[in-house]
Amino acid sequence: MYFNQRVAMITGSGGGIGEGIAKRLSEFGVSVVINDVDQAKVDRVVQEITDNGGEAMGIVADITKLAEVENMFKSIVSRFGKIEILVNNAGIAKDRSIRKMTVEDWDTVLAVNLKGTFLTCKVASEYMREQSYGRIVNISSRAWLGGAGQANYSASKGGVVSLTRTLALELGKKGITVNCIAPGLIDTPLLQALPEEVKQRLLKAQPSGKIGSTKDIAHTVAFFASDDASYITGQTIFVCGGKSLFANIG
Ligand SMILES: NC(=O)c1ccc[n+]([C@@H]2O[C@H](COP(=O)([O-])OP(=O)(O)OC[C@H]3O[C@@H](n4cnc5c(N)ncnc54)[C@H](O)[C@@H]3O)[C@@H](O)[C@H]2O)c1
């Protein structure tokens, strides 16, 4: 995969999948901006990338707030002179049946997963238009197909798929590609915290018979984000060990 000394920002990259994406891109010589809401998480990932010889900058910002998103991109462009790759990875879940789901549960999840993705795309695409170059990669979830107890999460991730397709149409002629990845079960602290019997049940429902790693997602992001993927846009790829084949399994 080829990267022409690009600059990338990955939201929610203070841990989990986002950290894996940032580290993978850094291995390709990409300068990476680590964004999260937690300063300690940001500092740790920046330090580890820098210790490994990569170039990294940390920015604490809440992607649900337009002013913070605007300031973040201003800081990135003021340090690197450009922003070429945006990975919308930050996401949260508050799973409950619709009976128990509060309006706040709905609003909070939609705010981070969908509105946050909209805001970063809106601001970053202005810089990318000026450069006539951009790669946007959005992280949805296999759950966009539907998941019992996940009305808010599933709807937000379905929204990310629709947003991807729409922005690909709007930004294609500006040299900007917009693609999406729908991960299945990935081994992050979130998953590790589940009770063993729940993990075993989820594993049984995997056609691949295994849980994916953050590297599985990072490799796919790197491909979409590379210079090589210039003729692919508006696409959503499942990286889920085949679980999307059984769309009705929550
Ligand atoms: N882990 C999985 O199995 C799995 C499966 C499918 C999809 N996903 C998606 O992958 C992405 C990453 O998931 P993960 O498992 O690494 O989760 P995670 O909780 O480990 O990491 C998400 C990060 O986003 C940050 N964040 C939350 N709100 C934010 C905000 N408003 N602004 C900036 N950062 C914010 C968190 O602090 C956290 O560090 C999410 O979008 C998630 O929905 C994960």
Total number of domains in the chain: 1
Question: What does the buried/exposed string (b/e) look like for 192-230 if buried means 16 or more CB atoms within 10 Å of the residue's CB?
Answer: eeeeeeebeebeeebeeeebbebebbbebbbbbbbeebe
Q: What is the pLDDT of residue 195?
A: 85
Whether residue 70 is contained in a domain is answered as yes
CA of 139 to the centre of ligand 1 (A): 9
Domain that holds residue 73: 7-241
Q: Does any ligand 1 atom lie closer than 6 A to the CB of residue 54?
A: no
Share of the chain above pLDDT 70, in %: 98
Q: Is residue 249 part of a domain?
A: no
Q: How confident is the model at residue 72 (pLDDT cuts 50, 70, 90)?
A: very high
**Token output for 215:** 């590297």
Q: At 31, which CATH number?
A: 3.40.50.720
- Ligand 1 closest atom vs CA 63: 32
Report the alpha-carbon distance of residue 174 to residue 45 in Å, rounded: 32
Does some domain include residue 179? yes
For residue 201, pLDDT beyond 90: no
Mean pLDDT of the chain: 96
Q: Is 88 in the pocket of ligand 1 (CB under 6 A)?
A: no
Burial of 63 (0-12, 13-18, 19+ CB in 10 A): buried
